[in-house]
Structure 1
Amino acid sequence: MPDSDREADARKVADYWRSLGMEVRLVESPAYVVCGSGGPVVGLTFSTGPGNYFIAGESPFAPGDAAELRQQDNA
């Protein structure tokens, strides 16, 4: 994403996550990374590099059989 403003994009993500009630930490080096927890998630990470943007997260536990829930989602 050479034409993007990685710092501005990371700050927008951080601001949005704060609006959801999450605790947020912004790391600026070597790439802009936003780390969040609380609110609607256990943990969430947004990274601006190297290469493409990347997001990963962990949600709270939900009761049920994971395989069955995936089948229902894919039906």
Structure 2
Amino acid sequence: MSNAVATAQGRAALLHLLAATARKIAVLFYNTMRFGMNYSDPGADQYEQKYCERVIKQLHCRAAEFGFELHEVGSVS
């Protein structure tokens, strides 16, 4: 396959991706304007909690890759 054909196919895929994303945003906007949507700010505390959970999960996976197992230690006072 020539480089020009590959570039044209990549450009076509990019245009398709942009159109699909624009449609998705348009549908969300239309439904929000037409039917309304309740929004509640989850707050920084919930974000921080989810972040900690993701970090701990990643640490468990990394330890498992090396053949280790992590255990939770009681709180330090």
TM-score (norm 2): 0.26
Q: Specify the structure having the higher radius of gyration (Cα).
A: 2
> Larger relative CO (CA 8 A, sep 6+): 1 or 2?
1
Give the number of the structure whose residues are more often helix, by fraction: 2
